[in-house]
Structure 1
């Protein structure tokens, strides 16, 4: 199984090369050019040494060779710098592309899927996991190509000068990659363990940070610190294990490289003494011998970059290629029809949705939501109300049945265009770090100040603005820190007004508010509902009295549907819910 995961990760890493092949080939080409120039440099240096040591030439005689040597050194340095730039550009582009696709995968799966995931796990994969790809493409892949190509160039240059030394290098070269392969399995297993430990540490730390108030109130902070310390120590041990393997690998590679260079040096020395090889040729080969093994040694030093990338790629490949049941694919087909600009008529026919295998959020739901009507959905927690809204937003695909909008299947619309036709008001609106203006304008980035003011008046946000010294420029902290729950809900209402969408979806927008704030928000919602198709999930049943249709749900099914007057007259489930609320 682990071999299969590694194979999938390697295949996925190979697939990502397509978009940056030009940059990688440019880096490899410059590396090869630098090696050719190195061979020329070695020839010039060997000739100059021979002229000065054995032919009594003066400095003026070797000055052109010295000037050529310096010039080639400068050109080689420029090639190396540019090759590094090309490599880093390849890494940067891959990281940007993968991170964009990961975020798109999150968006395609929708908030319901994200809510069931560990936030720390997603952050670690999106940040640390994606960042681990950069060194692989920026340095490891160019060096891998250099380890194959550059020694061949050196051999081509060395064989005509001294075939014996060239043969020694050719025979000893496979020892280096052989030991890299032998140590590779141990290194990859250690790297996988380190990655899993990092994910667990991230989860523990993020959970502790989010639950800091709870930990302090229950006096559990010390125990949590011990747990984090243990996780940190485990991560340190796994990191040191990877480093030990890396250092051992480097030691073995350096040993065999030095032994091979020493063998070449001894052979050249004896053959010079016996007169079997010219000084210029012997010196040329001696100068090239270290350069022959240098790319292989550098590749061994970069194996950790490959191990980290493979460890992260396994999770990223699964995230980008595997679509959970009931979710739309990450790559959606071209839309067949345009999303409606008018209040839509929505029909659900025998719809079943499973948010996990065998666990249905909706089961056989059939509903008719007339254009321009208001439908209030009520029921106990877990009855399927939120699943219904998620389905209408297009974040899920039904496992059975059909959702139609104006006679067209919902999946025939472009997902982004459909979302643009929806105004959404949740229980707890998410406010981002930034100004109040930025948070409201999120609904329509091109809105001018006049449109903002109109939305603020309609939502009752103008009263909040008068109490804020900086007005629209008031900075908000994370999750709207600085505003009360009722004020945050008015910001969300202003967004909905500014959106001016034909479909309004409300998910218990007054549940966490006090009576006064809930009444004010509900009044603003009553104005917002006019001229729109509205689906509102409500826990306060007062909102249902003014609806065109009330739907009562239980266990993912519709058990009652009709006008408020009809349901009250039938004295069924809705009547009992209303009685219980009044009694409370």
Structure 2
């Protein structure tokens, strides 16, 4: 529990002082409650004497009432934190998680499954906040009251106190057993919940593919397996802890019976009065109640423990270091002997090149050659393992990613749109943009034409991930977003590669509007789109093997020239194949 409270203090964040204050209030309230129970003994003792001392009885009753008054005050303060600031604690946890995710290296972010992060920010954050607001306080009450009552019993008769002190620890091994089982079980359950959440996200996003392959409903093997594992772990964690919990509760009840038996023997031996025995038995029952509850609430402690652990794990992720004063004022770029690996396999090996401001650089090469990694490092997806990446002469290791993104627009081949209106998706680049500015960006990106045909125009919702729009329409919206942002550096990951001819023409026109008078780096699969580049970098196996303009590289007769020749032949082959098909359809063979 000390470890849990320590973690909770981390999770409480800006509410740490209030949490500590609520713990103090809980301890004082619990001591006052135990004091009130203890006052029952002298009250009953005074009332059971042959000559009742009314003044003494009233004095003890006054102490009894004062204890309850003190408890009420401190319980109100404790509950005030639990019920008025619990929602703020959840919000604070989620905001801090969001900030840490923002500053987390994207390499680390991609390592985590979507469902895993959803579970942390969703259910784990709630359970962690529950722990901050309630679990620790409940635990303190369950410990404080029995400890005080043991002291009182020792004061009344050492034999009663000793009986309770000896018998009660019999429950401890069983409680510890419940704790260990629940701890392991709920961590497995928590991981199973995260896995199931990931599979649900995967199922929803990939539903068209699953339908096409007949893997929907009960045939969805990956989802069904994850849900089965989730159910299995939940059932096992409950079943395995049931018997030890029952034994622990039984041990506590044995303690109550033992105190009643010793007390009865003392009454028969004239060492204790009947009213005091009644008070002792009532106190013993009150003593047993929180201990029995502790066994039941062990599962809650472990749920909280697992949740807090996962939240703290994210909060403890090493953020990207940055100089808050580092600023980018020029818009040239440089790679200086950069090396980078995702795992053990190197992706970039000693890559060096410069990109002049307001120039056009193309990256070409086979899949896996490191092209996309170059663009990711320029947005500080991660820091290079060796060498330096600079923008405007500034080492990106010193620059906050938000400062980089202020000056860089990125358009990827796979477009992600949010389930909102077209207007809202474009305006994400500049939330303060006016409707006129949004429309101007949309016109420049060839968006306005198809938007005019929609029933709700710019207020049309695009669906989840933009599913209500075609690929070309989604791509043009992403380019409109980049145009509205008006960043001086533009990174393009071949946004026309997966489009049909008509969409490609419209998107290419939008790109021409985007890249005008900017520093442009494009990953090119179709070499015809980069013929006019100021420099073309040919990558293979993580190295730059050729560099130069289009004509220069063709003259060298190397890798680029062979790629150009292959693509040229492929284009001619498609035309020839189409001509042959048409000729065959017309019944001719040599027109």
Fold in common (TM above 0.5): yes
| Residue 38 of structure 1, aligned match among 33, 39, 43 | 33
- SS state of the match for residue 376, structure 1? strand
- Residue 277 in structure 1 maps to residue 264 in structure 2: no
> Judging changes above 3 Å, is the alpha-carbon distance between structure 1 residues 443 and 191 closer, same or farther for their aligned structure 2 residues?
same
Corresponding residue for residue 325 of structure 1: none
In structure 1, distance between residues paired with 2:567 and 2:267: 104
Corresponding residue for residue 572 of structure 1: 558
- Residue 467 in structure 1 maps to residue 453 in structure 2: yes
- Residue 562 in structure 1 maps to residue 548 in structure 2: yes
Contact 2:89–2:129, Cα closer than 8 Å, also in 1: yes
> Judging changes above 3 Å, is the alpha-carbon distance between structure 1 residues 113 and 574 closer, same or farther for their aligned structure 2 residues?
farther
- SS state of the match for residue 276, structure 1? coil
Corresponding residue for residue 338 of structure 1: 327
| Residue 373 of structure 2, aligned match among 340, 365, 387 | 387
Corresponding residue for residue 475 of structure 2: 489
In structure 2, distance between residues paired with 1:157 and 1:382: 75
Return the offset for 1:149.
2.5
Q: Deviations over 1:205-230 (max 9, x none)?
A: 44444433333333344763566555
Corresponding residue for residue 479 of structure 1: 465
- SS state of the match for residue 147, structure 1? helix
Return the offset for 1:393.
0.7
Length-normalised TM-score, structure 1: 0.85
- SS state of the match for residue 550, structure 1? strand
Return the offset for 1:282.
3.4
> Judging changes above 3 Å, is the alpha-carbon distance between structure 1 residues 463 and 231 closer, same or farther for their aligned structure 2 residues?
closer
Corresponding residue for residue 308 of structure 1: 303
* Residues 159-168 or 382-391, more deviating: 159-168
Contact 1:10–1:310, Cα closer than 8 Å, also in 2: no
Map 1:7-406 to 2 at 5 A.
Answer: 15-16=10-11, 20-39=15-34, 41-42=36-37, 76=71, 79-80=74-75, 82-87=77-82, 95-109=90-104, 111=106, 114-115=109-110, 117-221=112-216, 224-225=219-220, 228-229=223-224, 231-312=226-307, 319-321=314-316, 329-340=318-329, 342=330, 344-357=331-344, 359-406=345-392
Structure 1 unmatched runs, 5+ = 1-5, 323-328
Equivalenced residues, count: 568
Contact 2:210–2:220, Cα closer than 8 Å, also in 1: no
Map 1:511-522 to 2 at 5 A.
Answer: 511-522=497-508
Return the offset for 1:40.
5.4
> Judging changes above 3 Å, is the alpha-carbon distance between structure 1 residues 8 and 264 closer, same or farther for their aligned structure 2 residues?
closer
> Judging changes above 3 Å, is the alpha-carbon distance between structure 1 residues 451 and 546 closer, same or farther for their aligned structure 2 residues?
same
Q: Deviations over 1:480-537 (max 9, x none)?
A: 1222211111211111111111111111111122212212222222232222111111
In structure 1, distance between residues paired with 2:162 and 2:16: 34
Q: Deviations over 1:535-575 (max 9, x none)?
A: 11122223212222222222221122222232233343333
Length-normalised TM-score, structure 2: 0.84
Structure 2 unmatched runs, 5+ = 571-591
* Residues 36-45 or 379-388, more deviating: 36-45
- SS state of the match for residue 512, structure 1? coil
Map 1:398-547 to 2 at 5 A.
Answer: 398-547=384-533
> Judging changes above 3 Å, is the alpha-carbon distance between structure 1 residues 581 and 186 closer, same or farther for their aligned structure 2 residues?
same
RMSD of aligned alpha carbons = 3.7
Contact 1:140–1:299, Cα closer than 8 Å, also in 2: no
In structure 1, distance between residues paired with 2:222 and 2:394: 54
* Residues 242-251 or 344-353, more deviating: 242-251
Contact 2:493–2:522, Cα closer than 8 Å, also in 1: yes
